[in-house]
Amino acid sequence: MPDPTPDPIPAPAPAAPTRIDPRGPRFGAAVTTVVLLAVLATGSGVLLAAQAAVFAAGAVGGLRFSPYGWVFRHLVRPRLGPPQELEDERPPRFAQAVGLGFAVIGAAGYLSGTGWLGIAASAAALVAAFLNAAFGYCLGCELYLFAVRTARPRAGRP
């Protein structure tokens, strides 16, 4: 008599991480730097909320859905040579989530009349964006890598 239970369906293999041109996040960081300078100069919680929406698009949908990523991909990258190498999208995407957190806190500060909170959160995000734009040093990416390293169980460790 044949076995009535169907063969188990194998679990799908994990998808390879999306690879991106590392110049894209640096371009986005440069635009973000300008936006955050404008936020600090004007104290505009609305402008910071708009930047938060940009961060949210990159964090939730991936960098290809970020408005700055779209501009880079369609207007800037065609004018550049091909990248020397590609990088994993996950660290910059995590950095977008960190930026989103700071932007939401800052916008809430500005819009609620707590200007010092808006200034502090905007300034922190500005430092991170500037470091990435000017020097290619992504603080959020480093946080991601640190979290991945510390979350992995090590052999011989409970």
> For 101-123, what is each residue's pLDDT tens digit?
999 999 999 999 999 999 999 99
Entry pTM: 0.86
Q: Which residues pair with 87 in a beta bridge?
A: 20
Domain span at 74: 22-80+89-151
pLDDT of residue 15: 75
For 2-42, the pLDDT digits (tens) are 556 656 676 666 678 899 999 999 999 999 999 999 999 99
In a domain, 46, yes or no: yes
Average pLDDT, the chain: 92
In a domain, 66, yes or no: yes
In a domain, 17, yes or no: no
Calculate ∠ Cα 149-142-138, nearest 5°. Answer: 160
pLDDT of residue 157: 55
> How many folded domains does the chain comprise?
1
Indicate whether 76 pLDDT > 60.
Answer: yes
In a domain, 62, yes or no: yes
In a domain, 126, yes or no: yes
Distance CA 42, CA 119 (A): 10
Q: Which residues contact 3 (CB under 8 A, 6 or more apart)?
A: none
